Structure 1
Amino acid sequence: PMRTPKSLKIAETQARFIAVDWESLGYNITRCHTFNVTICYSYQRAATNQSSRLSLANQSGRASGCLEMDPKAPRHVVGDLPPNTNVSLKMILTNPEGRKESDETIIQTQEDVPGPVPGEFVRATPSEDKITLQWKEPLEPNGVITQYEISYSGVQSFDPSVVLLRPPLLVSLPWNSSVHSFTQLQPGTTYQFQIRASTSKGFGLPSTLNVTTNISAPTLEEYEGSEASLNETASTITVLLKPAQAKGAPVSAYQIVVRELSPHRARREAGVAGECFREPVSFQNAASTGLPFYFAAELPPRNLQEPMAFTVGDNKTYQGFWNAPLAPRKNYNIYFQAVSRVEKESKTQCLKLAFKGATEEPEVVPDPAKQTDQVVKIAGISSAVLVFIVLVLLAFLLLKKRRSYYSYSYYLKLAKKRKDAIGTTRQEMTHMVNSMDRSYAEQNTLHAEEPLSVGFMDTHTFSNRLPNEPLVPTAVLGGPLCSCYTDENHTAAAAENSRLLDIPRYHCEGTESPYQTGQLHPAIRVADLLQHINLMKTSDSYGFKEEYESFFEGQSASWDAAKKEQNRTKNRYGNIIAYDHSRVILQPMEDDPSSDYINANYIDVSGDAASSSIGERIWLYRDGYQRPSHYIATQGPVHETVYDFWRMIWQEQSACIVMVTNLVEVGRATSAPAQRLQSVIMSQILQQGDQVKCYKYWPDDAEVYGDFKVTFVEVEPLAEYVVRTFTLERRGFNEVREVKQFHFTGWPDHGVPYHATGLLSFIRRVKISNPPTAGPIVVHCSAGAGRTGCYIVIDIMLDMAEREGVVDIYNCVKALRSRRINMVQTEEQYIFIHDAILEACLCGETAIPVCEFKAAYYDMIRIDSQSNSSHLKDEFQTLNSVTPQPQPEDCSIALLPRNHEKNRFMDNLPPDRCLPFLITIDGESSNYINAALMDSYRQPAAFIVTQHPLPNTVKDFWRLVYDYGCTSIVMLNEIDLAQVKLNITSTFHKISIFTDTNFSCTIHVS
């Protein structure tokens, strides 16, 4: 060409494209009828205030390219350009003889709306009434940022009285802002913030963030003067309690705290704010640890809706806290607390209500005549007690002959070795209260103002008495006698004696007991558990069958939400659905009020559960070492509820899912290695009888459920359970949570595992894996009642046994059934709970870390000088004792007449549940062989244990090796190796089933 066009004209400039034009290209310029026009461009993002530095850091260097243009087109556009950027353009004219380039023309594209503020750089710092936001500029400013706009509104609140902000409020901020505080907000309220930036072209897309303010402590009403103190006696003080005003969250509980003052501490004015007591301490724990304060009572909010009088020291129990009588010669401050709890947050406001001063008692001078009468009375009482003790010993000797071969004294010795005496009893505590002042105690006088009474909690604490204490009748002094006697040694003789006399153990009718709930089932000492289970299994009058049948069966509370038509498809079974008072309420989705339902219930062990039985509420606190709603019991998800299930996991901040069902189950046979292996081998045969018990609600890789993304991380398969780890994310939230699923695979529907060892190991694994700050543990089977109830009861009772030395299985099941229908569904499951807890208490945790094994081993083989036995020997004796002996019905196949000749020893037969049935057909030979499948640590049915083959079972032996793909045989007995090889070789060639198969097997002889 002669030249390029004289000037490259800019026809139009926009944010992301430039339209160009040029003069007409005639022959005098192109010098050829065939020519091409190319527009080349290059650019680097223009510098614009602070955002340019971030952009240049992320997009360093120049971008360039060339576009072929149609010379005849009316418009020539260079597109896909960045906004607010200097673009260099030049035109190239080319014909077959050469090319000419024009001069560069530089033009800046226009600004555009900015990109969103990066959500990962938005940080929120909440307090009770303020939220401070920090952010960074958009990664794509697309121009000069002129301002930021933040809108915010309340979306939900823990406090139903809070009025949410509607419509959203707007805040405009200058371009150089990166932090702003929003004040005058409501406590315990979730606010939705939307932040967006603006250029001269307008606002870009917003970034959304939800932030919840902290809850505030409830507000307690002040008292005027001595208004709070209403009345005093030597051992009590009556105070006025006023309800608190909630701030950001409903009041969860009211607490009355008693603080003992030293004799030199001056009396202070009542009604001024005092220090708050965060951790609840019972009277018993305070006495044993030397703390100067204890919680006398905890009241649910529904019991204090208007001012009421309360007596401190009335000797009753409130939510598990004993309101012990006050010592007359002690000074006390009485505090009143209101507590609000929401998820992981708890706030407490406290007030000192009153001062209780010491009461001066006149010295009691005994009358000599009366003193003589007392000596006579004491002699008579002593004689009666002596006769009673002799009768008890005689009964014990007679009944001892009827005991099973288990050595109870041996178990008791083990229990004493494992745990020291835990706590003391109510009566001991009362005596401690009444004798705190030494000078007062020396008078040896029990005042009428200090009564002893028995309530429901006594049935738990009597059994914690120290071993060598005498038999003490518990009575209400100055009131009716309570026919409740406790033997402090509490051996099986006492239990059987009460049974022989047809007297319910610990049955009290004293009117001083605050809870009149009829005949209650008492807690059982761990040391007495073996004897109790043996009695319940062998009793002809009242055993496990009668005890289980005493539970209320069926619906015991309303379930209106579950029965709604729109929720019917969310229930796997129509008769196992969620009660209204304890159901998990999901945050409803927009325009779908029924989306708050899921078939799940909180299992509350805090003592504030809504229960129809006072006795149940008392028991629930007994597991006070667990926090409120520590469990959620739910069904195995159906297809329609998978999204709801993950919504619940996110909402409740759960970190652990316990699954005690399989996705598909066959019949009701008990689980064992044989069943697990054969279910794989014969899967095609069994499919017709399969029942879907749970929908597979987790992914194998990653999957999106609504606005949740669940990503598989890792799996740890073990013989009896599987641990899967996932990450859980939610759209719009800058948080990634880890969720672990613990899947126990060895529990049949409506049945029980053959032994509890694997389940106990499973429970320990869940317990150590659940973070202390996590939400409830979600437990499900198929219906969320039978196996789910068993798991929760065992977990709670193991904690109770460890902390208190007693278990209360009956009342635990009863309490769970008040939260969800028919928890623990069969008598067999109820008995299994007892057996599992007994095994845990007798055997304890036997796993030893590898690094500690050497030291542990030497400690176990060391001979105890007192018992002349080693811990290893004791542990082996325990193992033999807890291992059930096979019964004929357990080995029915081995005992068939046609199989007798296949057993080397008739006292060493494989149980039916562990048999590896032979699959390869060999004439009329049966499918039986004397062998058993055994689990390894990680793999079910990893080993086959068998007898040395008999001459008539060698063929069966090789069928076994072939059918189960065995590649190694380990022989541990001594035998002529040459003879073994001869028999193997000769027999091998006689079996036609192997002739066309390449088969390799290694024999290891030890």
Structure 2
Amino acid sequence: MSSNECAGFKSEYQNRVNYYWPDVNDKCKGGTLTIRHLENKTYPDYIIRRFKIHNNTTNTNRHVTIFNYTTWSYHGLADPLSLVVFHRHVIRATDNSAGRYTVVHCSAGVGRTGTYIALDALYREGEKTGIINVPMYVRRMRKDRMNMIQGDEQYKLLYLALMEAFSGPSRCLTTEKFVGAYQEQTCYANRGDVVQTSSQSIEFEELLSMRKKYTQRCYTSGRAQISANYTQSVLSVEEYMCHLSTIEGHITYYNAILLQSYLETDSLISAQYPLPDNTEDFLRLVNDFDARVVVFLCPLEDIDSTQAWFPTANHSKLNGLFVIKNTSSTQASNVRITNLNIQKQEFTKINITVVECPTWKEGKGTTDKRVLLDVIKAVKTEKSDQEGRIIVLSSDGVTRCGPFCVVYNVLEQISVDREVDIFTTTRQLQVRRPEFVSTLDEYQLCHDAVAEYLINDRVMETVTCEQKNE
């Protein structure tokens, strides 16, 4: 049997079995085999591990990849869209594989394993014929192995995952193909060919139709603290909300949502600007969630509450439980960076970097791609030097934050996988912030900024790196 891929589930590796592979860049021996761990790629919901296995008897090598889905717990359920994104990554990585088989396993090898195998087989069948029969395929699986797919919830998950897979097909492109498609669309637009330029509009309408719909119960905290929101039409979804620590006389609500980046779990927070009466709550958000980079997508001077908490150069300001000191500041054409240290009562000081956009005036519509890119690149530079989360703020925590988070995540995708999927990136972010990227202009801005980065900025970064290495 030739098996070059293995898809596994959950972090049961940590609790239920011993690791059977060496650390990265190390090797181990077992019988006639020598296993070398080549690399790891870690994503929010899964890990990809690559190995080279050398058979000492036949003097032959085989490359094997393990795809470990880590967010499907033993007694829980996977998020349907997350599972589909994982499955698509496996497909892309294995389509040109030399191996004949993919090994799929979980703890017992029937529940989650059966659900994943059914998703894979039915998706491929649907793509090929346009027709699938879920009950028939499950019965067929169970003839070969009893109890494949365990319980109603896993069966329901299979349907939800298939719906996600078919209703929003993958639009993942290599960076080269994305640039080619973008330039072709731009050419059609310049010629006034409306029919040929409608693909982005169609994609955007698909996104709007697939946005997750929440009930009023999902906004309990936001509705209870309605005066703490910039606008009543944008509230935090309870499941993903940043709950502040409990302090007597203070609320625990702030309109802020935890988001995944392309590479890290809950590493981004989208939040509204602090209201004049809630500046201390904003500082609590920074402190409670260990934010080290705070991004204001407008000039700070345009926000009414700034004077209540933001000190002038080389000065300090007291705000409730916090003392904030402005230690230094620098400015470029589209970005101003200020270094602050914040101390809560007698606790240790924390250093944060405030990144603001002085050219993106509050009330102004969609910004220029160059402005958005410059802000994101500045944030990435600051983040590379320190741990902690990134808080991105706009008037309602949605406008401007949406394009920022989409482009930020896609640039991570480019750096790791040399691929672009703006459509799926937006879909994933809209699960937690349904109001993200609510206009075609914002969706177009995401495409423009990513294309600008690939055509101009990435080339310059490569040249700069080569010069440093000379």
> CA shift at 1:752, angstroms?
2.3
> CA shift at 1:480, angstroms?
4.6
Separation of aligned partners in 2, 1:849 and 1:283: 27
Separation of aligned partners in 2, 1:813 and 1:323: 17
Corresponding residue to 2:31 among 231, 244, 264: 264
Structure 2 contact 40–48 (Cα < 8 Å) conserved = no
Separation of aligned partners in 1, 2:445 and 2:383: 25
Structure 1 contact 661–782 (Cα < 8 Å) conserved = no
- In the TM superposition, 1:355-504 aligns within 5 A as 425-429=93-97, 431-432=98-99, 434=101, 480=125, 482-483=127-128
Q: 1:284 to 1:664 in 2, by over 3 A?
A: closer
Deviates more, 1:253-262 or 1:524-533: 253-262
* 1:127 matched residue in structure 2: none
Corresponding residue to 1:727 among 317, 341, 353: 341
Structure 2 contact 242–258 (Cα < 8 Å) conserved = yes
- 1:753 matched to 2:413: no
Give deviations 1:69-96, integer Å, cap 9, x for gaps. xxxxxxxxxxxxxxxxxxxxxxxxxxxx
Q: 1:798 to 1:254 in 2, by over 3 A?
A: farther
> CA shift at 1:826, angstroms?
1.9
* 1:677 matched residue in structure 2: none
Q: 1:539 to 1:263 in 2, by over 3 A?
A: farther
> CA shift at 1:257, angstroms?
6.8
Give deviations 1:899-927, integer Å, cap 9, x for gaps. xxxxxxxxxxxxxxxxxxxxxxxxxxxxx
Separation of aligned partners in 2, 1:433 and 1:257: 25
Structure 1 contact 584–598 (Cα < 8 Å) conserved = yes
Corresponding residue to 1:585 among 238, 243, 251: 243
Corresponding residue to 2:287 among 620, 628, 650: 650
Separation of aligned partners in 2, 1:321 and 1:531: 26
Q: 1:751 to 1:744 in 2, by over 3 A?
A: same
* 1:923 matched residue in structure 2: none
Q: 1:826 to 1:278 in 2, by over 3 A?
A: closer
Separation of aligned partners in 2, 1:525 and 1:285: 21
SS in structure 1 of the partner of residue 238 of structure 2: coil
- In the TM superposition, 1:539-938 aligns within 5 A as 540=195, 542-552=198-208, 556-557=213-214, 558-564=218-224, 567-590=225-248, 592=249, 595-605=251-261, 623=262, 626-663=263-300, 695-696=306-307, 697-700=309-312, 701-733=315-347, 735-748=348-361, 749=363, 751-754=365-368, 756-771=369-384, 774-845=387-458, 856=467
* 1:906 matched residue in structure 2: none
Q: 1:821 to 1:253 in 2, by over 3 A?
A: farther
Separation of aligned partners in 2, 1:716 and 1:254: 51
Give deviations 1:191-212, integer Å, cap 9, x for gaps. xxxxxxxxxxxxxxxxxxxxxx
Corresponding residue to 1:320 among 57, 78, 86: 86
> CA shift at 1:729, angstroms?
0.8
Separation of aligned partners in 1, 2:449 and 2:229: 31
SS in structure 2 of the partner of residue 658 of structure 1: strand
> CA shift at 1:283, angstroms?
8.3
* 2:144 matched residue in structure 1: none
Separation of aligned partners in 1, 2:349 and 2:11: 40
* 1:444 matched residue in structure 2: none
Q: 1:284 to 1:539 in 2, by over 3 A?
A: farther
> CA shift at 1:704, angstroms?
1.1
> CA shift at 1:717, angstroms?
2.0
Give deviations 1:505-528, integer Å, cap 9, x for gaps. xx8969689631223232122112
Structure 1 contact 256–297 (Cα < 8 Å) conserved = no
* 1:529 matched residue in structure 2: 178
Structure 1 contact 243–304 (Cα < 8 Å) conserved = no
SS in structure 1 of the partner of residue 342 of structure 2: strand
* 1:519 matched residue in structure 2: 167
Q: 1:595 to 1:252 in 2, by over 3 A?
A: farther
Q: 1:305 to 1:656 in 2, by over 3 A?
A: closer
- In the TM superposition, 1:115-154 aligns within 5 A as none
Separation of aligned partners in 2, 1:278 and 1:811: 23
AA in 2 matched with 1:519: S
With normalisation by structure 1, the TM-score equals 0.34
Structure 2 contact 40–47 (Cα < 8 Å) conserved = no
Separation of aligned partners in 2, 1:822 and 1:713: 36
- 1:297 matched to 2:69: yes
* 2:50 matched residue in structure 1: 286
Count of residues paired in the alignment: 390
Separation of aligned partners in 1, 2:403 and 2:354: 18
- Name whichever structure is richer in helix by fraction: 2
Separation of aligned partners in 2, 1:812 and 1:822: 14
Separation of aligned partners in 2, 1:262 and 1:317: 33
Q: 1:555 to 1:722 in 2, by over 3 A?
A: same
> CA shift at 1:753, angstroms?
2.4
AA in 2 matched with 1:483: K
Give deviations 1:211-241, integer Å, cap 9, x for gaps. xxxxxxxxxxxxxxxxxxxxxx9989xxxx9
Separation of aligned partners in 2, 1:528 and 1:278: 26
**Structure 2: unaligned runs, 5 residues or longer:** 23-27, 34-38, 54-61, 104-115, 139-157
Q: 1:242 to 1:580 in 2, by over 3 A?
A: closer
- In the TM superposition, 1:980-999 aligns within 5 A as none
SS in structure 1 of the partner of residue 50 of structure 2: helix
SS in structure 2 of the partner of residue 598 of structure 1: coil
Give deviations 1:382-413, integer Å, cap 9, x for gaps. xxxxxxxxxxxxxxxxxxxxxxxxxxxxxxxx
AA in 2 matched with 1:540: V
> CA shift at 1:544, angstroms?
2.4
Q: 1:643 to 1:252 in 2, by over 3 A?
A: farther
Separation of aligned partners in 1, 2:48 and 2:336: 41
**Structure 1: unaligned runs, 5 residues or longer:** 1-232, 245-250, 267-276, 307-315, 325-422, 437-451, 457-474, 485-506, 606-622, 666-691, 860-1006
Separation of aligned partners in 1, 2:365 and 2:437: 11
Q: Which has the higher contact order (CA 8 A, sep 6+)?
A: 2
Structure 2 contact 125–131 (Cα < 8 Å) conserved = no
Structure 1 contact 296–321 (Cα < 8 Å) conserved = no
